[in-house]
Structure 1
Amino acid sequence: MSDETLSYEQARTELASVVERLETGGSSLEESLALWERGEKLADICQGWLDGARDRIDTARRARTEGA
């Protein structure tokens, strides 16, 4: 599955797994850096979903206010 098709829930679950692996330690520096980079990408995906949801809520509120 490509990053573009990850749902919020999938990205969040994978991000939690990445964080857990980083906190546990035991990885090489290279592995840790790769995990960190993956975590950053997943965090961006999650933020994109949250921003989109915020925009939809704002649009719905404006439509309701303008229609009242």
Structure 2
Amino acid sequence: MSQNVIAKIVEEVADAEGVEPSELDLTLYNHIDTDALVRLVNAEKGSWRLSFDIPGYTVTVRSDGSTLVEPKQ
């Protein structure tokens, strides 16, 4: 999954916002260390879940490669 996790998150946020990814005013690395996230995903050791907040949403990435972008309530 490697770098694809970043693209996947950006695409899901764009979908939630109803815009194209290029139209987002979001710099993901301002909210999480994207290099560390890619290293974690590439390690693929055990079962884990990582959640972090970005403006308006909570993002969850799991060891199975799934990502979830949920609006904050």
TM-score normalised to structure 2 length: 0.25
Which structure has the higher relative contact order (CA within 8 Å, separation 6+)? 1
Higher helix share: 1
Specify the structure having the higher radius of gyration (Cα): 1
Higher strand share: 2
